[in-house]
Structure 1
Amino acid sequence: MRVSASNTQDLGMPAIYLHILAELLKTIGLDERDLLLRVGLDPVRLQSTDVRVSHAQANEFVTRAIIESGEPGLGIMLARELKLPLHGALGVAVMSSRTLKDALDMMTRYLTLRAPHLSVSSREHGDAMHYTIRCDGDPGPLQGFIVDAMLFGCAFMGEQLTGTTIGGAAILRKGPEPSYFRRFRQAIVIPVNYGSQEDALVIPQGMLSAPIRFSDDQLAASSRAQCEDALKQLTEDAGFGCRVRRVIETSYPFPPKLARVAATLFVSERTLKRRLQEENASFQNLVDQVRLERARELLTGTSMNLNQIADVLGYADAANFTRAFKRWTGSSPSRYRDAEEKPGRMFLHSGTPAHA
């Protein structure tokens, strides 16, 4: 039964995955920071668990990473690094499930949160259950990388969840075995069979009842609720304005020029403006929304002075930043920081900057 959402819209990829990939590139001698900057991605912003990167930028970064590293097996390498907590609320929901079947059901239902271009369908086949992975739409060069990371990640995570290798499990892959796979075969804990009709994880029926060693019913319920809320929000945030905002959020240098964002999204500047106008949004308003959020984070979470914060946010000096912050919140940055640092005091401010 098909239970995960199929969505060909650009819902973005969690930035943390690209951060982990960048760290991997560093271990094999590639200048990962230079590569990120050339793609127009901010290395610091990628470390946030709440930020998503547009499909276009993720695709370009992964494609360049594979070409420049000369390592087509990066998807498998990434799979080995993706510990469950890195998957956010979904990772927690999977870890706190009662059985392996419950964990796989969670992954199937909420996969869109972590890999929007993938969907999972499950079916019984003899004495085993097949969890088949499909790519929705056309993810381009990302497809092989994503499927590698997904299927081999499941193999590694199964062992993490149960504390042992899942007996009788296997991975099915379409097409001939790639030459690079022989270098990774010994590290894969279950058999991998190429030349199959599907990309799938195969689990014997008898193993689906295997208990999860981190099981916690209360945590499972709360994290499932978080996944439901996140999935609803992600679906609601599927408009063009959200796609533009994702590019703005992760861009380096910041703020990005309208022309660069338009090029990233493969539209003309005129089309970008028109489509935003259709959603009652503007490019400058989206830039300032991101600026305000970053300003609050930097004022409350760092000891950076106003000149440093102004520079990070793309202002010529602290005076320009202070004027903008006052316009958005009705208060100076210094007063905001002071109010937030003093316990028991509530600072009232507007939610987002407003522009025509």
Structure 2
Amino acid sequence: MPAAVNHVRDLGLPAIYLHTIAELLRARGVDDHGLLTQVGLDPERLKSRDVRVSMSQASEFVTRAVVESGEPGLGILVAGEMRLPLQGSLGIAAMNSRTLGEALDVMVRFLALRAPYIRVTREDDGSHTVLTVDSEVDLGPLRGFIMDAMLFSCVNMGTQLLGVPVPGARVRRRGREPAYFQRFHHRVPLPVDYESDSDAIVIPSSELATPIRFSDEQAAAVSREQCEQALRQLTEDAGFPARVRRVIETSYPFPPKLGRVAGILYVSERTLKRRLQEEDASFQSLVDEVRLDRARGLLRNTCMSLSQIADVLGYADAANFTRAFKRWTDLSPSAYRSGQRALSRAS
């Protein structure tokens, strides 16, 4: 039996997915900003492709999104927004593969980068390749949404790779056809067979040799190596301090209180402190790491005043921010900004 999300390693979910859902909600007249902040997520931080959100917060936001939008087929709408570049290095590697079969191999190997709790098993019976999609955790009431988003986004991305829907392919779905599906039938370019014994995509084996229209062997090699590095980094970041840092990184308001982070991670404050201490970390040190990273980015990439940056980072005033930054870097914020601009001009 699959475990519950809070009882397994939380590798997080790419924040850009939640940003995509938020944009869909806004288009439907839903207050996406309010919905995100209600679950403690900073809407601005979700625009970054390098940020990951804890699964507990992602699950809470998606649940509220389905309810507030009144759209049970929201997963299919999300699937329609999934463009390959949104998938990061995984999407680039798939786009630059030589054939559809190679692109599928890339997806299966590196899926954890984008959907860490979803597993895809591949079986070949000679005439067809069956990609069965399942979960390592109990998805509960979100199973329908997640399977809609996962399966139909794969269908759409297959179309992006080839320029046409994969000839002869079909989608299998467990359970009865939901009432909402007929409203979205035109969005799915392949036949969908409900009441199957699994959630899967079935592809004629002869189609696996179909060339990818974006194929670039050199770019494929580079992006696959990036995927390997990202997968190693994600595995290394599976520890408890990384889980805490992910919550801190995307929190609204910032910085979050220790008790709020503990609640999101389903532990007591005492347990959170103890587990961090066991791994030679502390809550305050993680907050400071995030603050420093964000401070550097704001000084380097924006024209915000020191007072504005101090406010974003949760300091009472620019003087407090300046003292903290000098303690971390031995430079004043102004000196750091000037140095970065000089480097930029030189390059």
> Are the equivalent residues in 2 in contact too, given 1:8–1:117 (CA < 8 A)?
no
- CA pair 144-65 structure 1, distance change in 2 beyond 3 A: same
> Are the equivalent residues in 2 in contact too, given 1:12–1:116 (CA < 8 A)?
yes
> Are the equivalent residues in 2 in contact too, given 1:339–1:345 (CA < 8 A)?
no
2:290 corresponds to: 290
- Residue correspondences, number: 340
TM-score, L = length of structure 2: 0.96
CA–CA distance in 2 between the matches of 1:283 and 1:91?
Answer: 34
CA–CA distance in 2 between the matches of 1:341 and 1:257?
Answer: 34
Q: CA-to-partner distance for each residue in 1:32-68, whole Å, 9 max, x for gaps?
A: 0010011110000000000000000000000000111
1:350 corresponds to: none
Is residue 2:95 matched to residue 1:95?
Answer: yes
1:337 corresponds to: 337
Q: CA-to-partner distance for each residue in 1:212-246, whole Å, 9 max, x for gaps?
A: 00000000000000000000110110011111100
Q: How far is 1:344 from its partner?
A: 7.4
SS at match of 2:243: helix
2:43 corresponds to: 43
CA–CA distance in 2 between the matches of 1:101 and 1:126?
Answer: 14
- CA pair 18-198 structure 1, distance change in 2 beyond 3 A: same
- CA pair 282-296 structure 1, distance change in 2 beyond 3 A: same
Greater mean deviation of Cα atoms: 250-259 or 7-16? 7-16
SS at match of 2:211: coil
Q: How far is 1:29 from its partner?
A: 1.1
TM-score, L = length of structure 1: 0.94
2:113 corresponds to: 113
Q: How far is 1:265 from its partner?
A: 0.9
> Are the equivalent residues in 2 in contact too, given 1:162–1:211 (CA < 8 A)?
yes
Q: How does 1:272-351 map to 2 (within 5 A)?
A: 272-343=272-343
Q: How far is 1:144 from its partner?
A: 2.3
Q: How far is 1:137 from its partner?
A: 2.0
> Are the equivalent residues in 2 in contact too, given 1:310–1:316 (CA < 8 A)?
yes
1:29 corresponds to: 29
CA–CA distance in 2 between the matches of 1:343 and 1:274?
Answer: 42
The CA RMSD measured in Å over matched residues stands at 1.3
Q: CA-to-partner distance for each residue in 1:85-120, whole Å, 9 max, x for gaps?
A: 000000000000000000011000000000001011
Q: How far is 1:8 from its partner?
A: 4.1
Q: How far is 1:345 from its partner?
A: 9.2
What one-letter code is carried by the residue in structure 2 that aligns with 1:90? L
2:167 corresponds to: 167
SS at match of 1:171: strand
Q: How far is 1:126 from its partner?
A: 5.0
Q: How far is 1:180 from its partner?
A: 1.0
**Which is richer in helix?**
2
SS at match of 2:343: coil
CA–CA distance in 2 between the matches of 1:134 and 1:235?
Answer: 20
CA–CA distance in 2 between the matches of 1:303 and 1:279?
Answer: 37
Sequence identity percentage: 63
- CA pair 345-70 structure 1, distance change in 2 beyond 3 A: closer
2:186 corresponds to: 186
Q: How does 1:136-175 map to 2 (within 5 A)?
A: 136-175=136-175
> Are the equivalent residues in 2 in contact too, given 1:100–1:209 (CA < 8 A)?
yes
CA–CA distance in 2 between the matches of 1:75 and 1:164?
Answer: 22
Q: How far is 1:343 from its partner?
A: 2.8
What one-letter code is carried by the residue in structure 1 that aligns with 2:281? A
5+ residue gaps in structure 2? 1-6
